[in-house]
Amino acid sequence: MKRKFCFLFLMLLFLNISFSSAQEEDDLTLPEKSKTKNSKKKSQGFSFDKVFFGGNLGLQFGTITQIIVAPTVGYHFTDRFSAGIGGTYQYYSDSRYNFNTSVYGGSIFGRFILIKDLFLYSEVEALNIDDMEIYQNTLEMKRIWVTSVLVGGGYRQRIGERAAINLMLLWNINETSKSPYTNPIVRVGFEF
């Protein structure tokens, strides 16, 4: 449990450092008059124009049926740094073993634009999954929470003024035998 909190703490620290360095860079590149105007805008606080929505969808039918819905909502803190939260629901069914299950959970993420549409990405995700355990020669199923710390990068292909498709290559840096992912993880998503 302490290990999970350490990963969460490091993730939040990374987000804070990224936000701070991005903010300083934005301030350094503005002329004096723009800084004054920009400071007034910042003091106004939240702007709905900086909110974005997106996520991932997945469908597979046949012997193995899989349906994935993973919406996200985020905020562009600067032109280069954004962060947000997401939810995940996954239905999985394997007709060979007459097995079906649901996986659900949530995540927090951060993204930092390096150059143009190339970005760094990090995410802490907690998923509730079925776990099989042998107890006194009997197979038992129980629900457990599994935390994954995902880091990597990606490419954003713009398809409109606010819309984009994101292609990411991620690694689960705390992979265990219970982890729902194997490295590397390829993820395709969208945002608008």
Residue 187 pLDDT class (50, 70, 90 cuts): very high
* Contacts for 192 with CB less than 8 Å, ≥ 6 apart: 52, 53, 54, 160, 162, 163, 164
Pull the structure tokens for residue 112: 């930092």
pLDDT in tens, 50-101: 999 999 988 888 998 989 999 999 999 999 999 999 999 999 999 998 889 9
15 backbone φψ class: left, alpha, beta (φ>0; ψ -120 to 50): alpha
13-27, 31-45, 118-132, range with greatest mean pLDDT: 118-132
Q: What is the mean pLDDT of residues 5-10?
A: 46
Q: Write the burial class of residue 91 (CB in 10 Å: 0-12 exposed, 13-18 middle, 19+ buried).
A: middle
Proportion of the chain above pLDDT 90, given as a percent: 55
Pull the structure tokens for residue 1: 């449990």
- Distance CA(168)–CA(156), nearest Å, equals 9
Q: Give this prediction's pTM.
A: 0.72
Residue 141 pLDDT class (50, 70, 90 cuts): confident
Average pLDDT, the chain: 82
pLDDT of residue 44: 63
